[in-house]
Amino acid sequence: MFAELIKKEKKAAVIGLGYVGLPLAVELGRKLSVIGFDINEQRLEQLRQGNDPNKELPVSALAETSIEYTSSVAKLAEASFFIIAVPTPIDTHNEPDLQPLLSATRTVAGVLKPGDCVVYESTVYPGCTEEDCVPLLEQISGLKAGRDFKYGYSPERINPGDKEHTLRNTVKIVSGCDADACECIRRVYSLVVEAGLHVAPSVRVAEAAKIIENTQRDVNIALMNELSIIFDRMGINTYDVLDAAGTKWNFLHFSPGLVGGHCIGVDPYYLVYKAKELQYHPKMINSGRFVNDSMGRYIAKKIVKKILAQGKNILGARVLILGVTFKENVCDIRNTKVVDMVSEFQDFGARVDVMDACASSEDVQKAYGFPLVEHPEGPYDAIVVAVAHTPYLSLTEDDFLSLSGDKPILGDLKGIYRGRIHRMIYWSL
């Protein structure tokens, strides 16, 4: 299979051209014949015109590639090596929603031929590939896994907005259903990952490795958030404490903040779901989720108290929030916890404007029912910088004051302006 892929006698396909699938397709496209399959026609059209809707890849990267973008299953059938990178969200009860993953699996199963290989990249709970996906591949294709077709799992470590840690320079985990699958999958990914590959002993180990990477981050950030609540009561700044503690060689560097997005705030629920199926009710992981999920409302309440403490009425008070994306320098607004802050402020009767240096107002309106403000007009009673987008780092106290009324408050969730604010009431996590 690998030799035929290299000679372009066989094609690879990436299913799901989002934050994970597109960069992978583009890198593979430099070496192999690649079909980029997606169900979102609008996205496909933008890609054909050379634009990444997520603004992660430069126009030049897309211009150089010869990927065949398609939503045609007949076209997909030309591929022999399939990589599935579709979303794995949670439902309203925080349980795994496997619908996109199973739907993509059905699509691939419908075109699967003897000798093909299917690799999953989507983040799932350990066991999902072999218990939920492979049986579906077998059932629909009529083929036997291991004998007629191979499968594997290779979790993505992409970090949107991060130009330093890329697909090429980050070690990637690969796994396969048997030694042949492992070897073929390893060689394909070797074409694009220069940092090296770690071959996990099984698909389940690879799945588990991915899910604990994000669970570990979630629990550690939750600890920082809890510490920040405690230190706030003590009147000491958490970031000052972290600067001091961080001088110890084995102190882990995490900071408090909102945990949203498609990964860290979601993946632990996949692990919790699987653990509960095995009659274990995780306490640490759930506690972390509880703390992090509560932070948006906690922050809004802190600012509301500060406004009230200035002798102002919260009804009709004006708040400006800078940043709505789930993290800095990306346009991704999925599961952003900034909306928890917005709704908590509104519950108190405050009027909230939100602006963002990266996100699209149309997307925010569609997802959350309010538009972004492009040119904020003060005076605001409080300004909260929620996301550390690069353009916000250089804002000065004068910039904030020019938008503020009397007794102005600055909420600085990421501790960016520490030591630089003297004429405003300053609060940070």
Ligand X SMILES: NC(=O)c1ccc[n+]([C@@H]2O[C@H](COP(=O)([O-])OP(=O)(O)OC[C@H]3O[C@@H](n4cnc5c(N)ncnc54)[C@H](O)[C@@H]3O)[C@@H](O)[C@H]2O)c1
Q: Give catalytic residues, as residue numbers.
A: 263
Based on the shown chain and the rule CB under 6 A, indicate whether residue 365 belongs to the binding site for ligand X.
Answer: no
Region from 19-27, 303-311, 349-357, 381-389 binding ligand X, contact rule CB under 6 A: 19-27
Indicate which single residue of 23, 29, 36, 160 sits in contact with ligand X (rule: CB under 6 A). 160
Query: What 3 state SS string does the chain have?
Result: CHHHHHCCCCEEEEECCCCCHHHHHHHHHCCCCEEEECCCHHHHHHHHCCCCCCCCCCHHHHHHCCCEEECCHHHHCCEEEEEECCCCCECCCCCECCHHHHHHHHHHHHHCCCCCEEEECCCCCCCHHHHHHHHHHHHHHCCCECCCEEEEECCCCCCCCCCCCCCCCCCEEEEECCHHHHHHHHHHHHCCCCCCEEECCCHHHHHHHHHHHHHHHHHHHHHHHHHHHHHHHHCCCHHHHHHHHCCCCCCCCCCCCCCCCCCCCCHHHHHHHHHHHCCCCCCHHHHHHHHHHHHHHHHHHHHHHHHHHCCCCCCCCEEEEECCCCCCCCCCCCCCCHHHHHHHHHHCCCEEEEECCCCCHHHHHHHHCCCCCCCCCCCEEEEEECCCCHHHHCCCHHHHHCCEEEEEEEEECCCCCCCCCCCCEEEEC
Based on the shown chain and the rule CB under 6 A, indicate whether residue 19 belongs to the binding site for ligand X.
Answer: yes
Min dist. Cβ of residue 95 to ligand X (A): 15
Min dist. Cβ of residue 214 to ligand X (A): 8
Toward ligand X, which CB reaches closer, 10 or 262? 262
Based on the shown chain and the rule CB under 6 A, indicate whether residue 161 belongs to the binding site for ligand X.
Answer: no
Binders of ligand X among 113-152, rule CB under 6 A? 121-123
Min dist. Cβ of residue 152 to ligand X (A): 15
Indicate which single residue of 5, 14, 18, 414 sits in contact with ligand X (rule: CB under 6 A). 18
Min dist. Cβ of residue 169 to ligand X (A): 16
Region from 15-23, 166-174, 353-361, 413-421 binding ligand X, contact rule CB under 6 A: 15-23
Based on the shown chain and the rule CB under 6 A, indicate whether residue 158 belongs to the binding site for ligand X.
Answer: yes
Indicate which single residue of 11, 16, 149, 354 sits in contact with ligand X (rule: CB under 6 A). 16
Region from 12-20, 178-186, 219-227, 384-392 binding ligand X, contact rule CB under 6 A: 12-20
Min dist. Cβ of residue 33 to ligand X (A): 19
Min dist. Cβ of residue 353 to ligand X (A): 28
Binders of ligand X among 34-93, rule CB under 6 A? 37-40, 43, 85-88
| Residues near ligand X, by CB under 6 A | 15-21, 37-40, 43, 85-88, 100, 103-104, 107, 121-123, 156, 158, 160, 262-263
